A = this chain, B = another copy of it.
């Protein structure tokens, strides 16, 4: 069983590391970080580089595809090498998944047509132009396609999929091992819960999100 976590220039680190730290603890699975070219890949803040141990071309048929997201997705949504790889990998994958705006890349590759899917709350509407059905849930499963909401939701997605594949007890053991008993100091993690003026403030900046 091979899990490929797809990263690219300006990806969001937690998008990738959440599923890595949970789903990646699938027994007898090999997790590999992949990018267009092997080597260090810088995140959106510029302050962190994660190594892609292999190039996309070296990992053509993973069992599970995990696509991370990031701000400024437009270049990746037009990256033919990446989109071609996604289509090829998806043709033989058991599960095709994404976190955050990673779903826009799956959608741009034509993989989410007619499917329910989610994304970062600021990017959710963009799914529609690729024929997907934007769905406001933290983790959305439609057939073999599992999409997660923004950034931190990859942890919930990873545990959900781990349970589906390896059983509830294995997923619970991993949850206990990573002590995932969240206690956010605020209750502002979704646009429904956060103070309205903070939601509007982020929304007013979001025209930059996809540029």
Chain A interfacial positions (CB closer than 8 Å to B): 12-14, 17-18, 20-21, 24-25, 30-33, 40, 45, 47-51, 53, 100, 120-121, 138-139, 149-153, 155-156, 159-160, 163, 168-169, 171-173, 175-186, 188-191, 193-195, 198-199, 201-202
Q: Report if A179-B49 is in contact (Cβ < 8 Å); known contacts: A159-B186, A202-B173.
A: no
Which B residue sits closest to A172, measured CB to CB? B188
4 closest A-B pairs (Cβ-Cβ)? A150-B179, A181-B189, A172-B188, A182-B182
Pick from B14, B50, B120, B180: contact of A50, CB below 8 A: B50
How far, in angstroms, from A186 to B172 measured CA to CA in the complex? Answer: 7
B179 touches A190 (CB 8 A): yes
How far, in angstroms, from A21 to B155 measured CA to CA in the complex? Answer: 14
How far, in angstroms, from A25 to B20 measured CA to CA in the complex? Answer: 22
